[in-house]
Structure 1
Amino acid sequence: MPDQPRRPRTLNDPRSEAEAAFKRATTKVAEAPPKTVAVPGVREQVTLRIDKDVLEHFQEGGPGWQDRINAALRKAAGK
């Protein structure tokens, strides 16, 4: 008898074997989500929790506090 791959051990129960075969046949392989390219100058709305004293620090300068936070985060990120 030629060398053939070994058949996996059966589950002894025809129903369990059928369910296992169905699961193998219908299980999708996980694919990585497509990477999105960041477009320069486009901003994305997010929810961010910041300590109250830090938020007050940026808001003390009046309007534009979100831009100031963004600039500080860009600097911290080395961008």
Structure 2
Amino acid sequence: MENIKPASEPWIDPDDDDVEWTEEMFRMAAIYKGDQLIRPASGSLKSIGRPLAANPKKQVTLRLDPDVVEAFRATGKGWQSRINAELRKALGI
């Protein structure tokens, strides 16, 4: 028996997703004829993913009482942002 925590959301195979390619994606893609590379890919698609924040968060290690963590986790997705909001409120910033 495996001791694995089930995922909160099902995994989706990216190869099965219906991604709509743009003209830019086609222009940058590698071209193969069978196993032979005709033209290598150019550049990268850096626009994919989360946009950069103007004021990015800083990762820290913080020890909190277990009941505090569980109370925030019980509020659902975004619980870490709610901790941040409560700390800002307590500090008056």
| Structure of greater Rg | 1
Class of the TM-score when normalised by the shorter of the 2 chains: 0.3 to 0.5
Q: Which one has the bigger strand percentage?
A: 2
Provide the TM-score with structure 1 as the length reference.
0.48
Provide the TM-score with structure 2 as the length reference.
0.41
